[in-house]
Amino acid sequence: MLAEFVADEAPKLFTSNMINTALLHDTIEDTELTAEMITEIFEIEVARHVEGLTRIKPYGKISAEESLNLLIKQKRYDTVLIKLFDRIHNVQTLAAKSPEKAKKIILETFKKFLVVAIHLECYEIEEKFNEICYRFLYKDKFSQQKQISLFTMNNLLLFPTFENDLDQTYKL
């Protein structure tokens, strides 16, 4: 899923190393695979990116926000983009989390990840974060807003105004 995001949303990152990084992004955290093993199988660059994405450091496990801060301080913006795509995937799958954990992830996304997306001028990522987080935090209002939008669109089609008639008559 993450590799697909990289390929679709960031074509400039569409290199074999970055796709491999996206595919392997959680392997150090979730498996017995090490950075050294990744280097042997792939390349040092892939291992460096995957190691940057892992929250397990020699001094212990760090939060996703701390991991993001570390990448930004190191100016590893290509790796930051993969981290942002990973967060999109994480917030899209919040239904599998407890309500408390999901809310924590959403608030962290608003507090840090959205700010980074805006700063890096990643408008598509910003839009996805806003939509997903808003939908999660304000389920009822989001549903009502969607219904109002659909109703308004239907009314424009069903009940044309004088201006709409002029537009159609004179092809304005």
Query: Please, are residues 14 and 6 in contact by the beta-carbon 8 Å criterion?
Result: yes
The arithmetic mean of pLDDT across residues 81-92, rounded, is 91
End-to-end CA distance of the chain: 44
| pLDDT at residue number 12 | 65
Distance, in Å, from the CA atom of 116 to the CA atom of 120, rounded to the nearest integer, reads: 6
Q: Where in the chain are the domains?
A: 2-137
SS3 58: coil
Question: How confident is residue 98, by pLDDT bands cut at 50, 70 and 90?
Answer: very high
Angle subtended at Cα 51 by Cα 47 and Cα 102, rounded to the nearest 5 degrees: 135
Tens of pLDDT, residue by residue over 8-48, are 666 565 688 888 998 999 999 899 999 999 999 999 999 99
Tens of pLDDT, residue by residue over 131-157, are 888 888 887 665 555 544 444 444 444
pTM more than 0.75: no
Nearest to 93 by CA among 51, 52, 136, 144: 136
| pLDDT at residue number 92 | 87
Q: Tell me which CATH code domain 2-137 carries.
A: 1.10.3210.10
